[in-house]
Structure 1
Amino acid sequence: MLELTGIDRTYDDGHPVSALRKANLTLTEGEYVTVTGPSGSGKSTLLNVIGLLDRPDGGSYRVCGVETAGLGERVRVGIRGQLFGFVFQAFHLLAGRSTVENVELGMLYGRHARRTRRRLAVAALDRVGLGHRRHADPRTLSGGERQRVAIARAVAGRPRVLLCDEPTGNLDSATTATVLALLRELNTAGLTVVVVTHDERVAAEGDRGLRVVDGTVTEVVR
């Protein structure tokens, strides 16, 4: 489904820093993969390259058989909107808008017509157990509820891959368990899930583990 071959990514903020070095990775549909590694090792860069949020400096990245290296930004945005959903440590919910409106915002650049967004948003909130809070302001929700709204926003457009960057970083242990159960449920239903985490408990939830150190991606033997 996703194939990265020899991916390089270097940032230059006065001096070059290699975030990814000849990274190779193949992901098949329906996998649940966790990615660990020290701070600054390249984990988030890997996730951003996978999600077409960042362009590699070298190597090949094929998405469903399509080479993305030479694609224009408009085409990349289209693929990103159709294929990927994103969940981050910060919830990125807009205060003053209801939860269902926040979920709808995640579909603005997708393939869904305006008239279908509300229906999909309500269905996504029901899926994460928050249909009864669809009209609530995010400021009235707990941290776990906010993250579930963020997950609803990510999956409302029916992506095939869910990319999560430290999705439990702001949550306590009990709430973390709830979010992990939800991610497993989504994966069991067929969604490919990739989770970047510092938490070994979260990492253990994946069926497959990767580790990134100094930009080099290796498989974790389990």
Structure 2
Amino acid sequence: MQGVTRTYDDGQPVHALRATDLHIAAGDYVSITGPSGSGKSTLLNIFGLLDVPSTGSYKVAGAETVTCGQALRGAIRGQVFGFVFQSFHLLAGRTALENVEIGLLYGPHRRRKRRQLATEALERMGLAHRMLADPRQLSGGERQRVAIARAVTAQPRVLFCDEPTGNLDSENTEVVLNLLRQLNTDGLTVVVVTHDPVVAAQAGRLLQVTDGVVREA
């Protein structure tokens, strides 16, 4: 990012993100902290190409994303990024395996290959014994691991996590943090938004956002 800002017009301008210069390298583990309303979600949405900066340049693997078309932005988002959210976003009435397969529906793989990749992802998350369970039958920690499996099964280069442990107890938080550490050790770039100092402390880099200003701690 170079000179990236995000301003919303709500009758009068609201500066959600002020001029930001930031580089995240492949293999980084970054946490983003700050009070509610500070601009964390705005920063994450711009990172993940879910929102467009008002000004500035944002390049992903050398490709300028601010001025490119929506189709290219969508292609980059689908090929490069994976997303994990606090509320899991799993479909009830579908098995854990089917929920993970959904993450591959718009990729190049045929059904048999999608099933294989989804199975391998759940096994990696320690959920081989829960593949056929409905999300309503799973604990919060298990549901978040299914969500992580879905996010990584397409082999993204960057994993964005928005409060990934916000709905979990301390034991399940530790399980999820161990998984994120292992994914990062294996080469995945991990970016986590969190209010939890324990979660933030796992990262090698800490960004603090206050009133739209991003600082490296």
SS in 2 for 1:7: strand
Q: Deviations over 1:8-29 (max 9, x none)?
A: 1112233321111101110001
The residue that corresponds to 2:102 in the other structure is 105
The residue that corresponds to 2:126 in the other structure is 129
The answer to whether 1:164 aligns with 2:156 is: no
| Distance of 1:81 and 1:87 partners within structure 2 | 14
The answer to whether 1:41 aligns with 2:33 is: no
| Distance of 1:148 and 1:68 partners within structure 2 | 30
Q: CA RMSD in A?
A: 1.1
TM-score (normalizing by structure 1): 0.95
The residue that corresponds to 2:184 in the other structure is 187
Letter in 1 for 2:127: L
SS in 1 for 2:159: strand
Gaps of 5+ in 2: none
2:77 to 71, 80, 87: 80
SS in 2 for 1:27: coil
2:86 to 86, 89, 93: 89
| Distance of 2:7 and 2:110 partners within structure 1 | 38
Change (3 A) 1:31 1:107: same
Q: Deviations over 1:2-57 (max 9, x none)?
A: xx111111122333211111011100011111010010111111111111111111
Change (3 A) 1:14 1:205: same
Alignment of 1:1-222 (within 5 A): 4-220=1-217
Change (3 A) 1:41 1:111: farther
Poorly superposed stretches of 4+, deviation over 4 Å: none
Letter in 1 for 2:85: F
Q: Give the fraction of aligned pairs with identical amino acids, expressed as a percent.
A: 66
| Distance of 1:112 and 1:14 partners within structure 2 | 47
Whether the aligned pair in 2 keeps the contact of 1:88 and 1:166 (CA below 8 Å) is: yes
Letter in 2 for 1:90: S
SS in 2 for 1:25: coil
| Distance of 1:116 and 1:72 partners within structure 2 | 31
Whether the aligned pair in 2 keeps the contact of 1:160 and 1:191 (CA below 8 Å) is: yes
| 1:167 CA displacement | 0.3
Q: Greater shift after overlay, 139-148 or 70-79?
A: 70-79
| Distance of 2:16 and 2:194 partners within structure 1 | 17
Q: Greater shift after overlay, 8-17 or 57-66?
A: 8-17
| Distance of 1:149 and 1:134 partners within structure 2 | 9
Q: Deviations over 1:56-106 (max 9, x none)?
A: 111000111111111111111111111000001111000000111111112
SS in 2 for 1:87: strand
Q: Greater shift after overlay, 24-33 or 13-22?
A: 13-22
Q: Greater shift after overlay, 166-175 or 116-125?
A: 116-125
Q: Greater shift after overlay, 70-79 or 8-17?
A: 8-17
TM-score (normalizing by structure 2): 0.97
| Distance of 1:111 and 1:48 partners within structure 2 | 26
Equivalent residues, number: 217
Gaps of 5+ in 1: none
